[in-house]
Amino acid sequence: MCFSFEVSLATGLFSWSIGLFLLTKKLTKQARLKVYFLLIFSSMQFADAILWYNKMRRNNINYYTTSVLVPLILAIQILFNIYIYNEINNRFVDAAVWSFIVYIFIQSNGYSVKSCNNYGSPLWGNWKMTLIDLIIFSLFIFYPSINGLLLGVFFMIISINVFGGVSGSGWCAISNIGALTYLYKYYNKLL
């Protein structure tokens, strides 16, 4: 999530444009799955754009975007990485995944509000992701990539510290960096 309607929308369109462009190319199965994940991950920018466009008004648009759309996008990221990309079939992992997804829905239930300092992105249901929340979520969405995990946690920690408890600005940065990285990595191989 970014810090304004325009930046959120531009980031979503930028990431999706690159992702859709790459999907028109002959990619390996693994590369194609990574691009699909980028599209899911950067979909959060469109939820953010809805919240910004709505000016965080306490109405049904805010409530359903915050309580349904945001946690749904977060959950799909986890489900995609664990079950589709990594094809994990383990009861312990199942219990952990579904417990955390329920936790996400509970935490983000309510209305999004502007962060206290007007520099960060909206707080989903007034939920300030803790470092533990961030690490667990990052483990689920970046497993088994240690580089992805470290990059994700790094950007989220920076945005939490810079933007006063708002992790969403890290989403914005990771969406842009991920799109550019995949464009460079996969398009260069196709030339």
pLDDT digits (tens, 9 = 90+) for 3-52: 789 989 999 999 999 999 999 999 999 999 999 999 999 999 999 999 99
pLDDT digits (tens, 9 = 90+) for 64-105: 999 999 999 999 999 999 999 999 999 999 999 999 999 999
Residues 6+ apart with CB under 8 A from 31: 22, 182, 186
Residue of higher predicted confidence among 76 and 156: 76
